[in-house]
């Protein structure tokens, strides 16, 4: 259910299309959207990066909200949601809904692990706010390089403004889903 809501919110690339259009207009970079084939590829890759950022936010939120409980011995958490299992199920549902190949799914999981590991490493060193920034940096840097490497500062600024919008969407979707489950 959450996977369908996430994909519907992203609108099959609509969110990525708007992001590229806003960037091209704000920074006077018409070449960012001038070539249809390159633009289609860019939007597809940006949407994937958005899904990674969203999934990392889901993982982080679940970890923060799930109390540390002892395991029952069969890999289940006593009386609560297992964040790792929830995330595996979410990725599987995203893969099904998006009709990804097994290779696409494995690659997505690997990239998601990078996002999550960066946040965990930063979290171990300092505050949860820094953990958010670490996984956010991965998203912002990757999007900026894809969007406009010759104007990396502008692209970084644009991606940095997009991340809080995505995180706000995730928070709203998680609230909606948890309300329906109660």
Mean pLDDT, each 10-residue run in order, the chain (182 residues): 90 87 91 84 94 93 74 50 89 96 97 87 63 69 92 94 93 83 51
Quote the pLDDT of residue 49.
Answer: 95
Buried (b) or exposed (e) across 117-129, using 16+ Cβ within 10 A? ebbbebbeeeeee
Quote the pLDDT of residue 104.
Answer: 96
Quote the pLDDT of residue 123.
Answer: 66
pTM tops 0.75: yes
Give the domain ranges of the chain: 2-67+81-181
Burial class (CB in 10 A: 0-12, 13-18, 19+), 46: buried
Rounded distance, CA 129 to CA 113, Å? 19
């Amino acid at each position: 259910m959450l996977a369908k809501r996430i994909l519907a919110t992203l609108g099959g690339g609509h969110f990525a299309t708007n992001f590229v259009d806003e960037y091209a207009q704000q920074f006077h970079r018409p070449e960012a959207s001038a070539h249809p084939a390159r633009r289609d590829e860019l939007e597809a890759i940006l949407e994937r990066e958005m899904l990674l950022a969203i999934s990392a936010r889901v993982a982080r939120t679940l970890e923060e909200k799930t109390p540390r409980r002892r395991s029952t011995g069969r890999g289940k958490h006593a009386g609560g949601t297992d964040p790792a299992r929830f995330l595996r199920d979410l990725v599987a549902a995203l893969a099904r809904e998006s009709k990804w190949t097994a290779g696409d799914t494995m690659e997505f999981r690997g990239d998601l692990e990078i996002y999550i590991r960066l946040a965990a490493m930063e979290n171990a060193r300092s505050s949860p706010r820094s953990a958010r920034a670490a996984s956010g940096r991965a998203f912002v840097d990757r999007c900026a390089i894809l969007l406009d490497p010759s104007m990396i500062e502008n692209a970084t600024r644009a991606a940095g403004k997009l991340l809080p919008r995505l995180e706000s969407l995730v928070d709203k979707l998680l609230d909606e889903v948890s309300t329906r489950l109660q």
